[in-house]
A and B are shown apart, each in its own frame.
Chain A
Amino acid sequence: MSTCFDDPDPEAPKAVSMLPEPYVVVSRNQETADTFTIALRPADGGVMRSFAPGQFNMLYAFGTGESAISISGSPEDGGVLVHTIRRVGAVTSALDRLAPGSVVGLRGPFGSPWPMQQVRGRDLVFVAGGIGLAPLRPAILQVFSHRADYGRIVILAGARSPADVIFHDELHSWMQEPDTEVQLTVDRADADWHHHVGVVTTLIPRARFDPANAVAMVCGPEIMMRFTAVEMARIGLPEARIFVTLERNMKCAVGLCGHCQFGPEFICRDGPVFRHDRIRHWFSHREV
Chain B
Amino acid sequence: MTTEPPVLLLREHFDTLLEALARRGYKVVGPTVSEGTIVYDEVSRAEDLPVGWTDEQEGGRYRLKRRDDAALFGYAVGAQSWKQYLHPPRLRLVKADRDASGRMSFSDGDDAEPERYAFLGVRSCELHAMTIQDRVFLGSGVADTHYERRRKRVFSIGVSCGVAGGTCFCVSMGTGPQVTDRTPHDLALTEVIEEERHYFILTAGSDEGREVLAGLPVTPAGETEVSAAKQRVDQTAATMGRRMNAEGVRELLLENLEHPRWDDVAQRCLTCANCTLVCPTCFCTTVEDVADLTGDHAERWRRWDSCFTLDFTWMHGGSARQSGKSRYRQWLTHKLSTWHDQFGSSGCVGCGRCITWCPVGIDLTQEIAAFRDHPITPSPSQP
In the bound complex, CA of A16 to CA of B315 (Å): 24
B42 to chain A, nearest CB (A): 29
In the bound complex, CA of A226 to CA of B284 (Å): 28
B286 at the interface (CB under 8 A from A): yes
Which residues of chain A in 262-288 are interfacial with respect to chain B, using CB atoms and an 8 Å cutoff? 263-264, 266, 269, 280-281, 284-288
Cβ-defined partner of B305 (8 Å) among A60, A86, A259, A269:
A259
Cβ-defined partner of A258 (8 Å) among B291, B295, B307, B329:
B307
Q: A44, B103: Cβ atoms under 8 Å?
A: yes
A272 to chain B, nearest CB (A): 13
User: Which of B103, B289, B302 has most A Cβ within 10 Å?
Assistant: B289
Q: A256, B289: Cβ atoms under 8 Å?
A: no
Contact with B along A243-268 (1 / 0, CB 8 A): 00001110110111111010110100
Closest to B317 in A: A88
Which residues of chain B in 97-111 are interfacial with respect to chain A, using CB atoms and an 8 Å cutoff? 98, 102-108
Interface size on A, residues (CB 8 A): 46
Q: A63, B289: Cβ atoms under 8 Å?
A: yes
B316 at the interface (CB under 8 A from A): yes
A22 at the interface (CB under 8 A from B): yes
A-B residue pair count with CB separations less than 8 angstroms: 128
Cβ-defined partner of B104 (8 Å) among A88, A105, A263:
A105
Q: B96, A105: Cβ atoms under 8 Å?
A: yes
Cβ-defined partner of B102 (8 Å) among A20, A86, A103:
A103
Q: A285, B295: Cβ atoms under 8 Å?
A: no
Q: A251, B104: Cβ atoms under 8 Å?
A: no
B179 to chain A, nearest CB (A): 28
Q: B284, A259: Cβ atoms under 8 Å?
A: yes
Known A-B contacts A263-B338, A287-B326; A62 and B98 likewise in contact (beta carbons under 8 Å): yes
A175 at the interface (CB under 8 A from B): no
| Dominant SS among interface residues on chain A | loop
In the bound complex, CA of A105 to CA of B314 (Å): 22
Closest to B295 in A: A63
Closest to A260 in B: B313
B221 at the interface (CB under 8 A from A): no
Closest to A102 in B: B102
B131 at the interface (CB under 8 A from A): no
Closest to A23 in B: B104
Closest to B136 in A: A256
Which residues of chain A in 71-128 are interfacial with respect to chain B, using CB atoms and an 8 Å cutoff? 86, 88-89, 101-105
B248 at the interface (CB under 8 A from A): no
In the bound complex, CA of A16 to CA of B137 (Å): 13
Q: A287, B284: Cβ atoms under 8 Å?
A: no
In the bound complex, CA of A264 to CA of B291 (Å): 35
B141 at the interface (CB under 8 A from A): yes
Q: B383, A252: Cβ atoms under 8 Å?
A: no
A207 at the interface (CB under 8 A from B): no
A21 at the interface (CB under 8 A from B): yes
B304 to chain A, nearest CB (A): 10
Q: A285, B257: Cβ atoms under 8 Å?
A: yes
A205 at the interface (CB under 8 A from B): no
- Between A and B, 17 residue pairs with Cβ closer than 8 Å are A14-B142, A22-B104, A62-B291, A86-B316, A102-B102, A247-B315, A249-B314, A257-B285, A257-B286, A258-B283, A269-B141, A281-B381, A284-B381, A285-B257, A286-B326, A287-B325, A288-B326
Measuring CB to CB, which residues of chain A are less than 8 angstroms from any residue of chain B?
14, 16, 18-22, 43-44, 60, 62-66, 86, 88-89, 101-105, 247-249, 251-252, 254-259, 261, 263-264, 266, 269, 280-281, 284-288
A-B residue pairs, 5 tightest by C-beta: A63-B291, A258-B284, A287-B326, A88-B316, A264-B341
